[in-house]
Amino acid sequence: MSFRYYLPSISWALIILYLCAIPGSDLPQDSWYEFPGFDKCVHLSLYLIFEWLILWGFSKKNNTLLLEKNAIIFSLLISISYGGIIELLQGSVFVERSSDIFDFIANTCGALLGLFLFKIISSPQK
* Count of C-beta atoms within a 10 Å radius of residue 45: 14
* Count of C-beta atoms within a 10 Å radius of residue 52: 24
Q: Which of 32-36, 38-42, 72-76 has the lowest mean pLDDT?
A: 32-36
Q: What is the dihedral of CA 1, 69, 124, 118, to 10 degrees?
A: -80
Looking at the predicted structure, is the pLDDT value of residue 1 above 60? no
Segment 83-102 mean pLDDT: 94
Give, rounded to a whole angstrom, the gap between the first and last alpha carbons of the chain: 34
pTM above 0.75, yes or no: yes
Burial class (CB in 10 A: 0-12, 13-18, 19+), 42: middle
Where in the chain are the domains?
38-122
Q: Which of 19-23, 36-40, 83-87, 104-108 has the lowest mean pLDDT?
A: 36-40
Q: How many helices (H) and strands (E) does the chain have?
A: 4, 0
Q: What angle do CA 87, 11, 90 make, to 5 degrees?
A: 15
